[in-house]
Amino acid sequence: MLTIGNRFPDFKKTVVVSLQPGKEFENMTLGEFVNGKWSVMFWWPKDFTFVCPTEITAFNDHFEDFVKLDANLVGASTDSEFVHLAWRNTHPGLMQLRFPMLADTSKSLAEDLGILDNEEKIAYRATFIVDPTGIIRWVSVNDLAIGRNVKEVLRVLEALQTGALTPCDWEPGQATL
């Protein structure tokens, strides 16, 4: 698995960006993902499941917090863009998503990141924080059955953005070392 200090892999993938007919899909590259900003990509195993929409809606609920931190946010799975779109069209919590859903149907990006489950060939619940130069600065991977904590992702992002040493249990607004 790629980890801290590794360059995030190059990619070109289709993303779902809208529910408006004719404007649902765009292509995204690594350069567009990072674009000189801090960036967060979080992965879930499968669309139309139970834990995944709770995480996706939680990230969406905190979307403005990522905007305030001038960070890009992208969600991803190995499902196709058509499955993503169908899920967004039918799940009330996903209809108003404000970030792209990346489709890694070839599973190549998940494989390059080292987060592809060998048995089921689905992505683990992985979260990557990438700095403005494309270097991975934080990785968190959960078991397939365990949801993550979006507030912790935001806390770590803000800690990384300070560029300083942050003590144990540091919270935004507290002094750094």
Report the catalytic residues.
Answer: 52
Beta strands in the chain (DSSP E): 12-16, 25-29, 38-43, 71-77, 101-103, 125-130, 136-142
CA dihedral 2, 109, 46, 105 (to 10 degrees): -170
* Pair of tokens at residue 97: 């998503």
DSSP string, 52-85: HHHHHHHHHHTHHHHHHTTEEEEEEESS-HHHHH
List all residues 6 or more positions away from 113 whose beta carbon is below 8 Å from its beta carbon: 1, 2, 9, 126, 128
Alpha-carbon distance 165 to 161, whole Å?
11
Task: Compute φ and ψ for 163, nearest 5 degrees.
Answer: 70, 10
Tell me the HSE value of 154 on the side-chain side, using a 13 A CA sphere.
19
